[in-house]
Amino acid sequence: MSETTKMTISALQARVEAIFCKAGLNAVQAGALARVIVAGERDACKSHGVYRIEGALRTVKAGKVKADAIPELVEQAGSAIVRVNANGGFANPAFELGVPVLAERARSCGLAALVVNDCTHFSALWPEVEALTDQGLAGLVMCPSYATVAPTGGNKPLLGTNPFAFGWPRPGKSPYVFDFATSVAARGEIELHRRAGKQLPEGWAIDADGNPTTEPEAALAGAMLPFGGHKGSAIGTMIELLAGIMIGDLTSPEVLDYLGTTTLAPFHGELILAFSPEAFAAGRPGDPFGRAEVLFEAIVGQGARLPSQRRYVARAKSESDGIELTAAEMAQLERLEAL
Ligand code: NDP
Ligand code: PYC
């Protein structure tokens, strides 16, 4: 068994943040990026953990993201649409800037939207959903990525892996959260299989000639497949429409044209919707949070698990024992520190 290293969450945060600062990112960019990457490692979501540092740095070096960007709230007083321009920086600090205003508007209007424009987005969406459930709000988050997924019935990359996440607050408990790519698996999973020299499960991808493949290299050169056939294909398309075209930002094929590669983090926009369950349920019988608990208990009562349960177990372990990094991950971290 290969050696592993444990470190506290705050120690990993400091090390990742220092790598980004040394690479020229300003404090708002470096802090927000490190928080989301460390959260990925803490919750055992390796496809968006420390392995993503290198891609973010490559994107900075290629001049496709502004290391010193300061996100800006584009105020439309009282509107249910809150807009933040990331000004060419990463999405994460722009989200952090917009979320308090979004929460306040969702409470006053019942629902509100946060639009983030002109951002580079490479991270998992559940940290953003949890920022809403922490405020007692339900939330939906979505964004395009770049053309890597063939629509069902097609055979060429067109849609992105377009992540889609939802959260429901549970007073006194960890929220109900799901967060997934609308492809069978995130592209990051394919890359991790490639690095580990492992075959992909069947049904994830087709090669450049449109034939099914379990070879990671052939899948990366070909196209990934949507989850759930035509259903995932339609949800992926909806995300292109709502979180690309509707918000005046790039769609996944436009992102690929702009970047010319999938080795850099994608540049586009993001849509975050926040709902106040109390406002929607007002005047109707029953407490929405209590009724939700009945539903969750019935799901778990059948022996099923709730999404994010695996993450919460991993989080508790990281909080008590520290985050565990493999020898390869430690070597990568040390190499990036030495740059
Ligand atoms: P997974 O298929 O690994 O997991 C999807 C969700 O399903 C998780 O919430 C997971 O909870 C839950 N889940 C898994 N198994 C079960 C089960 N048996 N019962 C109930 N729930 C279950 O995710 P993906 O590979 O599709 O995506 C991984 C990450 O990649 C996401 O965080 C996504 O945001 C990110 N991503 C980001 C992109 C970007 O452009 N920024 C693009 C595409 C993906 P749990 O975690 O507890 O297992
Ligand atoms: O894992 O599919 C993915 C992905 C694309 C952009 C960021 N993550």
* Closest residue to atom 6 of ligand 2, CA basis: 122
10 among known catalytic residues: no
Q: Categorize the per-residue pLDDT at 75 as very low, low, confident or very high, splitting at 50, 70 and 90.
A: confident
Which ligand has the shortest distance to the CA of 177? 1
pLDDT tens-digit map of 53-62: 999 999 999 9
Q: What is the mean pLDDT of residues 98-118?
A: 97
User: Any catalytic annotation for residue 230?
Assistant: no
Statement: residue 307 has pLDDT above 80:
yes
**Does the annotation mark 104 as catalytic?**
no
Ligand 2 proximal residues by C-beta, below 6 Å = 47, 122, 145, 161, 181, 186-188, 266
Question: Of the listed 47, 54, 104, 324, which one is catalytic?
Answer: 47
Give the position, in ligand 1's atom list, of the atom nearest the Cα of 143.
40
β pairing state of 267-275 and 223-224: unpaired
So where are the chain's domains?
Answer: 69-183+226-279
Tell me which residue has its CA closest to atom 8 in ligand 2. Answer: 122
> What is the distance between the alpha carbons of residues 134 and 110, in angstroms, rounded to a whole number?
16
Q: What is the mean predicted confidence (pLDDT) over 182-205?
A: 96
Which mutation among 51, 122, 164, 179 tests ligand 2's pocket best, with the greatest number of atoms within 8 A of CB? 122
Question: pLDDT > 70: what percent of the chain?
Answer: 99
Tell whether ligand 1 has an atom less than 6 A from the beta carbon of residue 227. Answer: no
> Strands, E, within the chain: which ranges?
4-7, 72-74, 81-85, 111-120, 138-142, 164-170, 173-180, 205-206, 212-213, 223-224, 267-275, 323-326
Taking the CB of residue 24, how many other CB atoms lie within 10 A of it? 13
Catalytic residue among 48, 121, 193, 268: 48
Chain centroid to Cα 209, Å, comes to: 30
C-alpha count within 13 angstroms, C-beta hemisphere, residue 231 = 3
pLDDT tens-place string over residues 205-232: 999 999 999 999 999 999 999 999 999 9
d(CA 55, CA 269): 18
Cα 189 to middle of ligand 2, angstroms: 9
| Predicted confidence (pLDDT) per residue in 261-300, tens digit | 999 999 999 999 999 999 999 999 999 999 999 999 999 9
Averaged over 304-318, what is the pLDDT? 98
| CB neighbour class for 298 (10 Å; exposed up to 12, middle 13-18, buried from 19) | exposed
**Structurally, what CATH architecture does the domain formed by 69-183+226-279 represent?**
2-Layer Sandwich (3.30)
